[in-house]
Structures are given as structure tokens and as C-alpha cells.
């Protein structure tokens, strides 16, 4: 009986350690802003945000945009993240898609580790405007897994999302 209790306590301690370590890793990085239909000839882009207290190595992770096309079924564009990439605590990291991609102005965005484990995903998003507005978590990093985490506001790639109105020159 004593041996069983020791094994149980060891297992619980081990699992708690895994939970704590994983909380410092991928769980603190979220998809924070998405531009699916930029102005002109610019490429789509996705901003990641580290809401944790420590730097996170995101090397070899990837961002995928998945769109359902009426004529040809599913389309997916994958953006690989370089092997030496990391995001500082409270920091941002922006990745850009391929300017040759041809698909609709809709999509669900996935963030995955190098082993293809899902770290985060957006709800289905649509951007028919072709302007300088994007889908953004507000405030930064808000992640309750609800559509209400997202607002369509002025783009701020690599910077804090803001609801402030921008005045002209």
C-alpha cells in the first residue's frame, strides 16, 4: 500500500511538472492579429503574441491559413517559422504569407509546433474589405476561446492592438 501511494505521488508530481513547464512554453503564445486581405499587392500576415513571463522558442513552428473554396474544396497555406525564432515575454512576432497565394478572403488560422501539435487557432474569419483593418485579439492575448476575443480594427502588426481612433496628418 505504501509503495502504491509513493508511485501515485511520484506520478502526480511528474504530471504537475509537465503542466507547469508546458504553461511556460506553447500555452503562452497565441495568434494575436490576422490580415487576410491586405491593401494592394501586400501579402497576408499573422502576428503572434507571447503573454507569458518568459521568452518562448518558436523555431520550426508554423502558421497555417485554411480556407474553404466553393469550387475546389479546402485550400491551405503554410508559413514556416525559422529555426532560431523566439518571442520575448510580452513580445510580438509577425509572419508573412506567400504573395502568390490565391484563395478567398476567409480562413481559419492555426499555430502549430514542429511536431504539428496545435497551440492556438482562430475562429473562421472573413475580410472582404481590402483595407488596413485586421482581425485582432483585444486586449492583446485575450484567449477565452470565444469569437468575442476578436475585433476588426486598424492593423498594428508587431505592436499592441488598440481601439484608439487614428487621426490624419
Sign of dihedral through CA atoms 132, 133, 139, 145? negative
How many domains in the chain?
Answer: 1
pLDDT at 149 over 50: yes
Of the candidates 79, 81, 77, 78, the one whose C-alpha atom is nearest the C-alpha of residue 61 is 81
* pLDDT confidence of residue 1: 55
User: The pTM is what?
Assistant: 0.81
Q: Is residue 164 part of a domain?
A: no
* pLDDT confidence of residue 70: 82
Look up the CATH number of the domain holding residue 69.
2.60.40.1260
Range of the domain at 139: 2-154
* pLDDT confidence of residue 135: 97
Q: Is residue 51 part of a domain?
A: yes
Per-residue pLDDT reduced to its tens digit, 103-134? 888 999 999 999 999 999 999 999 999 899 99
Q: Is residue 163 part of a domain?
A: no
**Stretch 7-31: mean pLDDT, rounded?**
52
Q: Is residue 169 part of a domain?
A: no
Residue 23: pLDDT band (50, 70, 90) is very low
Per-residue pLDDT reduced to its tens digit, 70-80? 887 899 999 99
Of the candidates 155, 34, 42, the one whose C-alpha atom is nearest the C-alpha of residue 101 is 42
* pLDDT confidence of residue 8: 47
Q: Is residue 165 part of a domain?
A: no
Q: Is residue 122 part of a domain?
A: yes
Strand 45-50 relative to strand 29-35: parallel, antiparallel, unpaired? antiparallel
Instruction: Work out the angle at residue 74's Cα, subtended by the Cα atoms of residues 70 and 80, and round it to the nearest 5 degrees.
Output: 140
Residue 40: pLDDT band (50, 70, 90) is confident
pLDDT at 38 over 80: yes
**Stretch 15-43: mean pLDDT, rounded?**
70
SS3 of the chain: the string is CHHHHHHHHHHHHHHHHHHHHHHHCHHHEEEEEEECCCCCCCCCEEEEEECCCCCEECCCCEEEEEEEECCCEEEEEEEECCCCCEECCCCEEEEECCCCCCCCCEEEEEEECCCCCEEEECCCEECCCCCCEEEEECCCCCCCCCHHHEEEEECCCCCCCCCCCCCCC
Amino acid at each position: 500500500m505504501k509503495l502504491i501511494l509513493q508511485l501515485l505521488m511520484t506520478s502526480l508530481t511528474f504530471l504537475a511538472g509537465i503542466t507547469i513547464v508546458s504553461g511556460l512554453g506553447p500555452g503562452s503564445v497565441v495568434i494575436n492579429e490576422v490580415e487576410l486581405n491586405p491593401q494592394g499587392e501586400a501579402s497576408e500576415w499573422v502576428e503572434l503574441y507571447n503573454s507569458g513571463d518568459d521568452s518562448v522558442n518558436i523555431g520550426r513552428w508554423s502558421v497555417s491559413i485554411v480556407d474553404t473554396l466553393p469550387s475546389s474544396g479546402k485550400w491551405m497555406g503554410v508559413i514556416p517559422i525559422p529555426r532560431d525564432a523566439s518571442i520575448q515575454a510580452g513580445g510580438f512576432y509577425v509572419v508573412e504569407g506567400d504573395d502568390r497565394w490565391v484563395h478567398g478572403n476567409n480562413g481559419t488560422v492555426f499555430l502549430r509546433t514542429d511536431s504539428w501539435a496545435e497551440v492556438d487557432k482562430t475562429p473562421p474569419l472573413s475580410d472582404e474589405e481590402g483595407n488596413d483593418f485586421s482581425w485582432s485579439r483585444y486586449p492583446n492575448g485575450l484567449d477565452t476561446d470565444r469569437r468575442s476575443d476578436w475585433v476588426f480594427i486598424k492593423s498594428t502588426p508587431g505592436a499592441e492592438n488598440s481601439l484608439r481612433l487614428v487621426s490624419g496628418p
